[in-house]
């Protein structure tokens, strides 16, 4: 009976029923099967009101939406182009760094490809990069900044797993930089092989573009500095970011001047946050019922028969999460899967902060894998190319990301170096 219900729910989800409705239906069925009043689901939902960190989500989202509507992608692109464009593979590196920055503060919702892809694609192909390389690069760059502050995915993981958001933000920096470096090296090699001409460095261009973009750059720097120095909490950083972004776009750059533009920004924020947090609210009830039914404990008992080491567990975790990443979007996966795997990871001695970085890295790769890799669909829409050809174009980048995943999974020091300071 349980299996039939589960299959029915998977079918309605695959047909396009909103995820929160699917989880709500699952929770109602589970409560009914356990002989409980469905009001228990509402009790769990009310727990959202006791999470002080939850406030950071709408405020960081507001900052991201204001910056992206106010022209931050173009300013960052100009600045990084002047700063890195002269290097071998310079333009590809510019694309990687700009996309990473933009993804971090636009909430990793996939808008990077829509916002920056269209700007970068003609520039890359115009400089002799092949169509295939350019499409692969831009499709895979859409989720690069997922581990950098103030990524919404990190915030959500911290809230769901009950892990310090400040520690997660710090832990994500080195793994994120390692990935950017690996992709930059690959791009430099490709650019040398195809003979892309190097451009001269211009100090004037760097100064001019930095004057424009430095204010945007200060935001992630300020967040990391504030959190590392212990000057602000994640919630305070979110409040300051939102106020700063609005001030930047309305007073300094003056790109957002009308009340209608501001209304659009607030409305977009509200809808983005709503579509995310209602899943969290409904899933809290469902995961609580699953924990009451000892589901994680049963999985653990099954695993303990065959899995005897942390390395073995991490390997299985990677395979499982890559499969999850192929089928679920990152936010749903965090809400649904994290409560189930957290007790297992703790049993095998995996640090919850390290688990968070590994979890998000797997799902970052999931953005590039069919059938529901969102980057493939957004890139397909943006560049008018078939999903499968985009997947083929992204394969070299995907392979690099898999090597990177192995590095950060089996070298926890990359994520946890700060614990030794």
Partner 1 sequence: MTEPAVHPRNRTWMAKLEFHLTRVESIVAIAGLVLLLGLTLAEIGARNFFHSSIPGADVLDRYLVLWVSFLGAVLAVRDRHIKIDAVAVWFPDAWRRRLERPIFLFSSVVCGILFWAAARFWREEWLYAPAAERWITMLAVIIPLSFFLLTAHFALRFLIGPRAPGRS
Is residue 327 involved in binding partner 1 (CB under 8 A)?
yes
Is residue 66 involved in binding partner 1 (CB under 8 A)?
no
Q: Work out how close the CB of 392 gets to partner 1 at its nearest, in angstroms, rounded to a whole number.
A: 18
Q: What residues between 244 and 283 interact with partner 1 by CB under 8 A?
A: 263, 266-267, 269-279, 281-282
Q: What residues between 358 and 397 interact with partner 1 by CB under 8 A?
A: 371-372, 377
Is residue 49 involved in binding partner 1 (CB under 8 A)?
yes
Is residue 48 involved in binding partner 1 (CB under 8 A)?
yes
Among 39-47, 87-95, 173-181, 297-305, which window interacts with partner 1 (CB under 8 A)? 39-47
CB 96 within 8 A of CB 184: yes
Is residue 8 involved in binding partner 1 (CB under 8 A)?
no
Is residue 39 involved in binding partner 1 (CB under 8 A)?
yes
Report the residue number, 95 or 276, with the smaller CB distance to partner 1: 276
71's torsion region: left (phi>0), alpha (psi -120 to 50) or beta?
left
Is residue 19 involved in binding partner 1 (CB under 8 A)?
yes
How many CA atoms within 13 Å lie on the side-chain side of 206?
8
- DSSP notation for 204-272: HHHHHHHHHHHHHHHHHHHHHHHHHTTSS-HHHHHHHHHHHHHHIIIIIS----SHHHHHHHHHHHHHH
Is residue 410 involved in binding partner 1 (CB under 8 A)?
no
Contacting residues for 376 by C-beta, under 8 A, at least 6 apart: 139, 368, 369, 370, 387, 390, 391, 394
Number of residues that bind partner 1 (CB under 8 A): 63
Alpha helices in 70-164 (DSSP H): 72-84, 90-106, 111-112, 118-126, 131-141, 152-161
Q: Report the chain's terminal Cα–Cα distance, integer Å.
A: 53
Report the residue number, 351 or 364, with the smaller CB distance to partner 1: 364
CA atoms of 163 and 208, how far apart (whole Å): 41
Report the residue number, 124 or 283, with the smaller CB distance to partner 1: 283
Binding residues (CB under 8 A) for partner 1: these are: 12-22, 24-25, 28, 37-39, 41-43, 45-46, 48-52, 54-55, 57-59, 62, 235-236, 239-240, 242-243, 263, 266-267, 269-279, 281-282, 327-329, 331-332, 371-372, 377
């Amino acid at each position: 009976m349980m299996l039939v219900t589960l299959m029915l729910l998977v079918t309605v989800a695959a047909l396009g029923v909103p995820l929160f409705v699917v989880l709500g239906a699952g929770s109602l069925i589970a409560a009914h099967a356990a002989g409980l009043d469905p009001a228990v689901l509402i009790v769990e939902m009310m727990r959202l009101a006791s999470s002080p960190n939850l406030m950071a989500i709408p405020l960081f989202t507001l900052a991201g939406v204001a910056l992206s509507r106010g022209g931050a992608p173009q300013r960052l692109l100009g600045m990084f182009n002047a700063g890195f464009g002269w290097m071998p593979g310079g333009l590809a590196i510019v694309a990687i760094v700009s996309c990473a920055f933009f993804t971090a503060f636009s909430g990793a919702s996939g808008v990077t490809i829509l916002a920056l892809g269209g700007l970068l694609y003609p520039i890359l192909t115009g400089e002799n990069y092949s169509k295939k390389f350019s499409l692969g690069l831009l499709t895979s760059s859409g989720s690069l900044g997922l581990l950098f502050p103030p990524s919404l995915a990190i915030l959500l993981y911290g809230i769901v797993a009950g892990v310090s958001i400040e520690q997660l933000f710090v832990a994500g920096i080195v793994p994120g930089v390692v990935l950017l470096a690996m992709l930059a090296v690959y791009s430099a090699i490709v650019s040398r092989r195809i003979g892309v001409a190097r451009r001269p460095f211009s100090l004037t261009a760097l100064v001019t573009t930095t004057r424009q973009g430095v204010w945007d750059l200060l935001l992630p720097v300020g967040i990391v500095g504030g959190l590392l120095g212990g000057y602000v909490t994640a919630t305070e950083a979110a409040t300051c970011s939102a106020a700063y972004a609005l001030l930047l776009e309305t007073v300094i750059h003056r790109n957002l001047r009308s009340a209608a533009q501001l209304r659009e920004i607030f409305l977009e924020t509200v809808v983005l946050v709503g579509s995310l947090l209602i899943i969290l609210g409904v899933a809290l009830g469902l995961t609580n019922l699953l924990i009451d039914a000892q589901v994680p404990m049963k999985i653990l008992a099954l695993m303990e028969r065959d899995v005897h080491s942390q390395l073995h567990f991490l390997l299985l975790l990677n395979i499982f999460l890559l499969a999850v990443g192929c089928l679920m979007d990152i936010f749903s996966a965090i809400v649904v899967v994290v409560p189930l795997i957290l007790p297992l990871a703790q049993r095998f001695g995996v640090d919850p902060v390290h688990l968070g970085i590994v979890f998000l890295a797997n799902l970052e790769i999931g953005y590039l894998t069919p059938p529901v890799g969102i980057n493939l669909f957004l890139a397909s829409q943006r560049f008018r190319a078939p999903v499968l050809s985009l997947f083929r174009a992204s394969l070299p980048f995907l392979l690099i990301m898999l090597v990177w995943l192995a590095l950060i999974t089996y070298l926890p020091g990359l994520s946890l170096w700060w614990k030794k300071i």
